[in-house]
């Protein structure tokens, strides 16, 4: 039986890191405040990275440190010192998108295994093998590859080279990165983690009629471009979801499944990690050819804020969604559990909630379940009808244990009714 792929979850801050760890990630990727391709999250200081690495290693999990921008000359001059600090964190890998950084890391961060970012756009076995010969232990493949292409690549690269693919999350029109559109239109450089996401905007082009883009020979997938009331979302991508096809990714030789989302909320990290953990556990226990994604895990991916889902290029279908550029969300996070003791849960508030509120609780390692908020008190034990202050601590009755990090949320539609 082929090994179950690693589940690699994102963390934009320490709260998200703790959620990824609690909800079943095998490894977590994060960035220091410099040289990472996401500037919106808080990210981590070097002391926080050491703290995160220690916490992960205590549970037998891994941490990968991101260094995936395309550095300028000035940034490259500062990299040796940064890499030397990274080398001392005890992290389990360094994610790199630049050949110069790859070479520098060999000298200044020799204890960190080197992973090649999807930003480098590896689409074939020759490039993957060359990078392995330059010291890479893992390649995050370009998102443009189909499942068959991944399988073929796996057969032609050294067995020791690990292959990682994105399994879930946002995609962009420039699938493997290096997009200049945001910088051109807004001055916010996507290659510095400051993308304004202009590919999600609706565009209007004067008087336009429905148009089919065709070549002399009919394309494999005819692409219709139309303008509705909100314009045309001609650059907009589906979000990626592969949870129903994890057996095929495993059989293609994928070693690590990566969830996109270092700029996403703690509820996103918890929900998606929980869903893919349950799915991978089902894959581990299923006889060959009989994997089925647990229904609750599939539904869990609908609870987070997302755009309509697709499977990217895995099966050769179009990855663009020109009809809609907004988000879909099945639930709103209300609170995160800090600790549970003697039938009472201490929580920290994310959105207002009150006595009698019907909520759903997501706990590590199990499907979510309903709970009605009762016994609501503030941190001093005084009864309250409502909690309205962000980050306020409060207590509620909780007959069953709620592990730290459990999520209290309100569904748009209560599924247990």
Residues 268, 224: Cα–Cα separation, whole Å: 32
Residues 375, 162: Cα–Cα separation, whole Å: 51
Give tens-digit pLDDT for 393-416. Answer: 999 999 999 999 999 999 875 443
293 and 347, same domain (yes or no): no
- Does an H or E element contain 318, and which? none
Residues 97, 193: Cα–Cα separation, whole Å: 13
Is 221 part of a structural domain of the chain? no
Residues 22, 151: Cα–Cα separation, whole Å: 32
Q: Are strands 344-349 and 331-341 parallel, antiparallel or unpaired?
A: antiparallel
pLDDT at 203: 66
114 and 247, same domain (yes or no): yes
Residues 408, 153: Cα–Cα separation, whole Å: 43
pLDDT at 196: 80
Residues 417, 405: Cα–Cα separation, whole Å: 26
> Rounded to whole angstroms, what are the CA distances from 115 to 93, 103, 165, 326?
7, 12, 12, 33
Residues 396, 362: Cα–Cα separation, whole Å: 16
Domain boundary among 277, 310, 343: 310
361 and 301, same domain (yes or no): no
Give tens-digit pLDDT for 330-385. Answer: 899 999 999 999 999 999 999 999 999 999 999 999 999 999 999 999 999 999 99
342 and 278, same domain (yes or no): no
Residues 367, 207: Cα–Cα separation, whole Å: 50
Higher-scoring residue by pLDDT: 77, 193: 77
Q: Name 141's bridge partners.
A: none
Is 200 part of a structural domain of the chain? no
69 and 141, same domain (yes or no): yes
Is 201 part of a structural domain of the chain? no
- Enter the tokens of residue 372: 């009605």
Write the DSSP symbol of residue 191: G
Per-residue confidence at 19, pLDDT binned at 50, 70, 90? very high
Is 399 part of a structural domain of the chain? yes
Residues 274, 270: Cα–Cα separation, whole Å: 6
Residue 309 and residue 284 in contact, taking contact as beta carbons nearer than 8 Å: no
Three-class DSSP category at 164? strand
Tally the domains of the chain: 2
- The C-alpha angle with vertex 122 and arms to 276 and 150, in degrees rounded to 5, equals 55
CATH number of the CATH domain containing 398 = 2.40.30.10
pLDDT at 413: 57
Is 132 part of a structural domain of the chain? yes
Higher-scoring residue by pLDDT: 103, 202: 103
Q: Which of 404, 294, 301, 303 is nearest to 359 (CA)?
A: 303
Q: Which residues make Cβ contacts (< 8 Å) with residue 300, sequence separation at least 6?
A: 271, 272, 274, 275, 278, 362, 368
Is 220 part of a structural domain of the chain? no
Is 216 part of a structural domain of the chain? no
- Judged on CB neighbours under 10 Å (0-12, 13-18, 19+), 137 is middle
Which residue reads 């001093």 in tokens? Answer: 380
> Residue 397 is part of which domain span?
332-411
- Judged on CB neighbours under 10 Å (0-12, 13-18, 19+), 279 is buried
Residues 64, 256: Cα–Cα separation, whole Å: 12
84 and 136, same domain (yes or no): yes
146 and 290, same domain (yes or no): yes
Residues 401, 406: Cα–Cα separation, whole Å: 10
159 and 29, same domain (yes or no): yes
Q: Which residues make Cβ contacts (< 8 Å) with residue 58, sequence separation at least 6?
A: none
284 and 404, same domain (yes or no): no
pLDDT at 216: 45
Q: Name 394's bridge partners.
A: 347, 378
Q: Which of 113, 117, 94 is nearest to 32 (CA)?
A: 94
C-beta atoms surrounding 281 within 10 Å: 16
Residue 294 and residue 282 in contact, taking contact as beta carbons nearer than 8 Å: yes
pLDDT at 416: 38
Residues 27, 376: Cα–Cα separation, whole Å: 36
Residue 200 and residue 173 in contact, taking contact as beta carbons nearer than 8 Å: no
Give tens-digit pLDDT for 226-244. Answer: 666 666 777 778 899 999 9
Per-residue confidence at 40, pLDDT binned at 50, 70, 90? low
CATH number of the CATH domain containing 32 = 3.20.20.70
19 and 50, same domain (yes or no): yes
Give the chain's end-to-end CA distance (angstroms, integer).
Answer: 41
- Enter the tokens of residue 89: 């964190």
Which residue reads 């990078």 in tokens? Answer: 131
Is 406 part of a structural domain of the chain? yes
297 and 353, same domain (yes or no): no
Domain boundary among 276, 310, 344: 310
- Enter the tokens of residue 3: 């090994």
With 60 as the cut, is the pLDDT of residue 223 above it?
Answer: no
284 and 351, same domain (yes or no): no
């Amino acid at each position: 039986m082929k090994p179950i792929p690693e589940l690699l979850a994102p963390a934009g801050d320490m709260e998200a890191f703790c959620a990824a760890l609690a909800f079943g990630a095998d490894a977590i990727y994060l960035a220091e405040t410099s040289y990472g391709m996401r500037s919106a999250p808080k990210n981590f200081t070097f002391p926080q990275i050491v703290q995160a690495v220690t916490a992960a290693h205590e549970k037998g999990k891994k941490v990968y440190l991101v260094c995936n921008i395309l550095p300028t000359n000035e940034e490259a001059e500062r990299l040796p010192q940064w890499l030397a600090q990274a080398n001392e964190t005890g992290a389990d890998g360094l994610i790199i998108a630049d050949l110069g950084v790859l070479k520098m890391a060999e000298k200044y961060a020799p204890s960190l295994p080197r992973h090649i970012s999807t930003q480098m756009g590896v689409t074939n076995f020759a490039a993957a093998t060359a990078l392995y010969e330059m010291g890479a232990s893992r390649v995050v493949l370009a998102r443009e590859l189909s499942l068959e292409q991944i399988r073929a690549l796996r057969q032609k690269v050294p067995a020791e080279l690990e292959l990682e693919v994105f399994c879930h999350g946002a995609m962009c029109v420039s699938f493997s990165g290096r997009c200049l559109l945001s910088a051109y239109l807004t001055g916010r450089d996507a290659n510095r983690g400051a993308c304004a996401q202009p590919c999600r905007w609706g565009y209007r082009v004067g008087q336009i009629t429905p148009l089919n883009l065709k070549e002399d020979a009919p394309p494999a997938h005819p692409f219709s471009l139309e303008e509705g009331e909100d314009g045309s979302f001609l650059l907009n991508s589906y979000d990626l979801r592969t949870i129903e096809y994890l057996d095929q990714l495993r059989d293609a030789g994928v070693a690590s499944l990566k969830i996109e989302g270092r700029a996403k909320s703690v509820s996103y990290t918890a929900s998606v990690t929980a869903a893919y953990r349950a799915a991978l556990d089902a894959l581990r226990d299923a006889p060959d050819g009989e994997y089925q994604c647990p229904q609750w895990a599939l539904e869990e991916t609908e609870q987070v804020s997302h755009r309509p889902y697709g499977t990217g290029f895995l099966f050769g279908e179009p990855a663009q969604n020109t009809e809609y550029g907004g988000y879909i969300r099945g639930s709103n996070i209300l609170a995160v559990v800090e600790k549970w003791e003697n039938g009472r849960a201490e929580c920290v508030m994310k959105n207002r909630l009150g006595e009698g509120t019907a909520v759903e609780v997501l706990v590590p390692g199990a499907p979510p379940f309903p709970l009605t908020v009762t016994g609501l008190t503030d941190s001093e034990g005084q009864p309250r009808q409502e909690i309205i202050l962000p980050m306020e601590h409060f207590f509620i009755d909780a007959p069953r244990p709620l592990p730290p990090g459990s999520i209290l949320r309100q569904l748009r539609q209560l599924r247990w009714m």
